[in-house]
Structure formats: structure tokens, C-alpha cells
């Protein structure tokens, strides 16, 4: 018979699956995912899988949230300024608020933006915006980390130029039939790109509604 997942069991599972960095595990421990899922799904909040939220969107699987955070930190413990595209439930933004001084998070769906603003009201270092224009936001850099939580078909050069030195971009990138977590690290003028886990994110779309 399968075990009922508790918050503590979820953290143990994330370690088992290879999440190693203490700051990331602490963040996943500190933030209660139950606060970010729909009331009807609360009993499943600690399952390591995505769940549906309003507007046909999803709250990501905890392992993927942890993995993207670890890839964005890239060995660093605490960042100054990070940008998240795709606020959704606000869960990833809350995790980022534990490892960054300032978190900027944008969402294109007004109902989700409004809901996340309420959920995240107590997080004084998270700034949420109703916006779909990832390109324009890059002018607000430099960012120590950029996380896109919707599937992209390309990495535009100016996204990379919005990274501070040592900064790191993490996103799901479409490739053939699949999508893969992709990490780009800036070292001065050099950018190193690596491909990691296969993932399944909703697409990055244009337009605010
Ligand atoms: N990070 C979220 C999960 C995001 S699901 C969480 O922790 O719950 C992806 C989100 O990206 C959706 O809410 C979708 O509306 C949003 N999105 C898609 N394209 C976007 C764009 N161009 N700008 C901002 N948000 C976008």
C-alpha cells in the first residue's frame, strides 16, 4: 500500500532523487506547498507531482522546483536579484525568496496574478507583475538568476545579456518532441550551456488576459 506523503517524507524523497544543496532543501522545508495548491487538492500537496491550478495551468512538481532552484544557484548560497517568468501559484517564487534578496515574478494571466499577489502578500521580498513581455523585462537586469517556468522555443541573446557575471538562466527548452531543463551560466563574456532533465511545462505565450 502506498504511504501517505507528508512534508517530511517529501523532503526525504527529494534528497533520494538527488537534490543536495542545503539551502534548497531548507527552502523546500520552510515553504508549505499546501498554501499554494487549490483547497480541493490540499491532501495531495506533498506528492511529488504537478497539480492543476486555476486557468488550466499547473503548480510544478516539487522535484522540478528544487532542481531548477539548484541549477539557478549553481553552487552559490544566496543571490541578490532574480527574475521568474510564470508566477502561476507563486510556489516557485516563494522558494526563490528563501535564496534571493529580491524576487521579481511575472504572470500573464490576470486571475493568477491577482491570486498569487494575495498568497504572497507576506513575502516582502517578492515583487509580482502582470506582464507577458519577457523581452522588455530583461532591461531591468542584471539578474543573478533567471528562471522561466514555461516552455521556450529559443533563448534570445539579450536574455543572456541580462545575466550578471556568474549569473545563471534556467528554463525548459523545446527540442524535437521533448523539452529539457537547460542551464546557461555567464562567466564574463562566455556562456556555458548544459542540458539536464526531460520535463513537461505549459508553453510560454504572448498576451495578457
Ligand atoms: N512557477 C509556477 C508554475 C508555472 S506554470 C508555480 O510555481 O506554480 C507556467 C505559468 O507561466 C502559467 O501560469 C502561465 O500563465 C505563465 N506564462 C506563460 N507565458 C508567460 C509569459 N509570456 N509571461 C508571463 N507568464 C507566462
In a domain? residue 36: yes
Helix residue ranges, H only, the chain: 7-16, 22-30, 62-73, 91-97, 110-119, 134-137, 157-161
In a domain? residue 124: yes
Range of the domain at 17: 7-199
Residue 199 and residue 64: Cα distance in Å, rounded? 8
pLDDT in tens, 38-82: 999 999 999 999 999 999 999 999 999 999 999 999 999 999 999
Choosing from 2, 60, 97, 105, the catalytic residue is 60
In a domain? residue 206: no
pLDDT at 138: 86
CATH value at residue 138: 3.40.50.150
In a domain? residue 207: no
Domain count, the chain: 1
**Is 80 exceeded by the pLDDT of residue 1?**
no
In a domain? residue 208: no
Residue 87 and residue 51: Cα distance in Å, rounded? 15
In a domain? residue 25: yes
pLDDT at 139: 86
pLDDT at 202: 93
Q: Is 60 an active-site residue?
A: yes
In a domain? residue 204: no
Distance of CA 65 to the CA centre of its chain: 6
pLDDT in tens, 124-145: 999 999 999 988 888 889 999 9
> What atom of ligand 1 comes closest to residue 84's alpha carbon?
1
In a domain? residue 187: yes
Residue 163 and residue 158: Cα distance in Å, rounded? 9
Q: Please indicate whether residue 150, judged by its CB atom, sits closer than 6 Å to ligand 1.
A: yes
pLDDT in tens, 145-203: 999 999 999 999 989 999 999 999 999 999 999 999 999 999 999 999 999 999 999 99
Beta strands in 76-201 (DSSP E): 79-85, 100-107, 126-130, 143-148, 163-175, 178-187, 190-198
pLDDT at 37: 97
Amino acid at each position: 500500500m502506498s504511504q501517505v506523503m507528508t512534508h517530511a517524507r517529501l523532503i526525504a524523497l527529494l534528497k533520494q532523487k538527488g537534490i543536495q544543496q542545503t539551502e534548497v532543501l531548507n527552502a523546500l522545508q520552510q515553504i508549505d506547498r499546501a498554501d499554494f495548491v487549490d483547497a480541493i487538492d490540499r491532501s495531495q500537496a506533498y506528492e511529488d507531482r504537478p497539480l492543476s491550478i486555476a486557468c488550466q495551468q499547473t503548480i510544478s512538481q516539487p522535484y522540478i522546483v528544487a532542481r531548477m532552484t539548484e541549477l539557478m544557484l549553481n553552487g552559490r548560497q544566496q543571490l541578490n536579484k532574480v527574475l521568474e517568468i510564470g508566477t502561476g501559484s507563486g510556489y516557485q517564487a516563494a522558494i526563490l525568496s528563501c535564496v534571493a534578496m529580491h524576487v521579481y515574478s511575472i504572470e500573464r494571466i490576470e486571475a493568477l496574478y491577482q491570486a498569487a499577489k494575495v498568497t504572497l502578500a507576506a513575502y516582502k521580498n517578492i515583487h509580482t507583475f502582470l506582464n507577458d513581455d519577457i523581452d522588455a523585462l530583461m532591461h531591468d537586469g542584471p539578474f543573478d538568476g533567471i528562471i522561466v517556468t514555461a516552455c521556450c522555443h529559443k533563448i534570445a541573446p539579450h536574455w543572456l545579456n541580462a545575466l550578471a557575471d556568474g549569473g545563471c538562466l534556467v528554463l525548459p527548452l523545446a527540442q524535437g518532441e521533448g523539452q529539457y531543463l537547460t542551464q546557461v551560466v555567464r562567466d564574463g563574456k562566455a556562456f556555458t550551456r548544459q542540458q539536464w532533465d526531460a520535463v513537461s511545462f505549459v508553453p510560454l505565450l504572448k498576451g495578457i488576459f
